[in-house]
């Protein structure tokens, strides 16, 4: 698993992937560079191979009820008023995901509570969507995911009053979605992995893995690929 | 004569209700009485943004909110909320709370298939539940229109009789 974001300052400089696993095989734990890993009613494991050339990725699966989670946690952000993040998700195992089969895949929160949440849900036509829920900004939208690996990036900018999202899109000036936001909640913590699924998701996809890799977060610089 | 007077008095007393049960908020949810009930809900003409999301389910379109309260005996699993028809990408969600704010709770029952249904899980006694009629995440902000749906609650009809002598 390539987790660039251990310290925001390092990420700002565009430095230092987590390359140790490429040589030595997959680590048994994602900690470090993640602050912690939590799985209650689910599993969060590191497996080979990784995505887009890395050696390993994170497999997250839920097996319990709606309170279940299987996530890694990054506590290095500090009251961030602007927060960009990108990761790769591969949700191909969620075959025939229905319109109400949904689970969180990312969430961030701060002193004022949750700020940004991302979820995966079926599109009713055999595909799936990533939903962007800006809780403290009164904005929500969903964008299609392709089969296989998808790069999902967003820019939560409370000082500029905007939220923008890119899916498999390397052009900073042309986000797939951008909207004004009014929220001022900062980011102190980020979670990556499955959590908080709907009852139908848990019925249909108990134990089904969704893969994540190459998480990166920064304060202001477009991440891209 | 006494009964008539009492009814008039009750009607006068009931007239200046502070809010309507219009389904446009949690506080003004439309109360579902006991027994099987069938509704035709138009979220375009009688809907509002109550929540932007129901847990991980994005919901940028209008919502309409209904509510029912269980009795003193906790109902076991059973009963249904069936989506009979819809002219848009409609969804029905069963909620065990309706908190303030635009972030709604994760539903305890979900359905977005016409002809499909939510089978109610075991419910708590003396608890207020909510039924949201809204659009799916895939339908986006334009997912609003008319949905026909039927709720068959798991608790029996409680016939009540009032008489003023």
Q: For chain B, which ranges sit under pLDDT 70?
A: 1-19, 155-165
Domains and CATH numbers, chain A: 8-215 (2.60.120.200)
Pair type for strands B53-54 and B103-104: parallel
Residues of A with Cβ-Cβ distance to B60 under 8 angstroms: 140-141
Where are chain B's structural domains?
20-152
Q: Out of A66, A129, A200, name the one closest to residue B137 (CB).
A: A129
**In chain B, what residues touch A204 (CB-CB under 8 Å)?**
none
Contact A131 B58 (CB under 8 A): yes
Contacts of B110 in chain A (CB under 8 A): 100, 198-200
Q: What is the DSSP letter of B29?
A: P
CATH architecture of B20-152: Sandwich (2.60)
Per DSSP, the three-state class of B61 is coil
Residue with tokens 């700002």: A12
Cα–Cα dist B137/A145, whole Å: 13
Are the CB atoms for A30 and A46 separated by under 8 Å?
Answer: yes
What's the pLDDT tens digit per position in A30-84? 999 999 999 999 999 999 999 999 999 999 999 999 999 999 999 999 999 999 9
User: What does residue B47 show for φ and ψ, rounded to 5 degrees?
Assistant: -145, 165
Under the phi-then-psi rule, with left for phi > 0, alpha for psi from -120 to 50, and beta for the rest, what region is A222? beta
ipTM exceeds 0.85: yes
CA distance B92 to chain A (A): 9
Structure pTM?
A: 0.88
Give the residue ranges of chain A where pLDDT is below 50.
1-23
Contact B103 A123 (CB under 8 A): no
> Distance (Å) from the C-alpha of residue B86 to the closest C-alpha of chain A?
15
Contacts of A141 in chain B (CB under 8 A): 58, 60, 140
């Amino acid at each position: 698993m390539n987790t660039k974001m251990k310290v925001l300052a390092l990420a700002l400089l565009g430095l230092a992937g987590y390359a140790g696993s490429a040589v030595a095989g997959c680590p048994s734990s994602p900690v470090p560079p993640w602050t912690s890993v939590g799985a209650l009613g689910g599993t969060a494991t590191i497996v080979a191979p990784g995505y887009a050339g890395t050696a390993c990725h994170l497999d997250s699966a839920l097996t319990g009820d709606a309170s279940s989670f299987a996530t890694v946690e990054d506590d290095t952000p500090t009251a961030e008023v602007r927060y960009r993040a990108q990761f790769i998700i591969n949700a191909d195992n969620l075959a025939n995901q229905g319109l109400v089969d949904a689970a969180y895949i990312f969430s961030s929160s701060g002193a004022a509570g949750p700020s940004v949440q991302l979820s995966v849900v079926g599109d009713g036509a055999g595909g799936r969507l990533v939903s962007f829920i800006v809780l403290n900004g009164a904005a929500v939208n969903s964008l299609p995911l392709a089969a296989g690996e998808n790069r999902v990036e967003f820019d939560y900018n409370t000082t500029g009053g905007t939220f923008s999202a890119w899916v498999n899109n390397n052009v900073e000036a042309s986000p797939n979605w951008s909207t004004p936001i009014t929220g001022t909640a900062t980011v102190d913590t980020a979670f990556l992995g499955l959590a908080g699924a709907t009852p139908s998701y848990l019925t249909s996809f108990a134990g089904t893995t969704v893969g994540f890799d190459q998480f990166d977060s920064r304060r202001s610089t477009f991440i891209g690929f | 004569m006494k009964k008539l007077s009492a009814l008039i008095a009750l009607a006068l007393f009931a007239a200046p209700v502070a809010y309507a049960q219009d389904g446009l908020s949690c506080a003004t949810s439309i109360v579902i009485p006991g027994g099987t009930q069938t509704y035709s809900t138009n979220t375009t003409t009688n809907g509002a943004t109550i929540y932007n999301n129901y847990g991980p389910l994005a919901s940028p379109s209008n919502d309409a909110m209904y509510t029912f309260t269980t009795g003193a005996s906790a109902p076991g699993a059973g009963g249904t909320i069936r989506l009979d028809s819809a002219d848009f990408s409609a969804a029905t969600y069963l909620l065990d709370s309706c908190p303030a704010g635009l972030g709604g709770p994760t539903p305890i029952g979900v359905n977005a298939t016409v002809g499909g249904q939510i089978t109610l899980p075991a419910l708590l006694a003396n608890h207020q539940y909510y039924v949201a009629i809204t659009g799916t995440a895939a339908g986006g902000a334009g997912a609003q229109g008319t949905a026909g749906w039927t709720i068959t609650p798991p608790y029996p009809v409680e016939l009540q009789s009032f008489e003023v002598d």
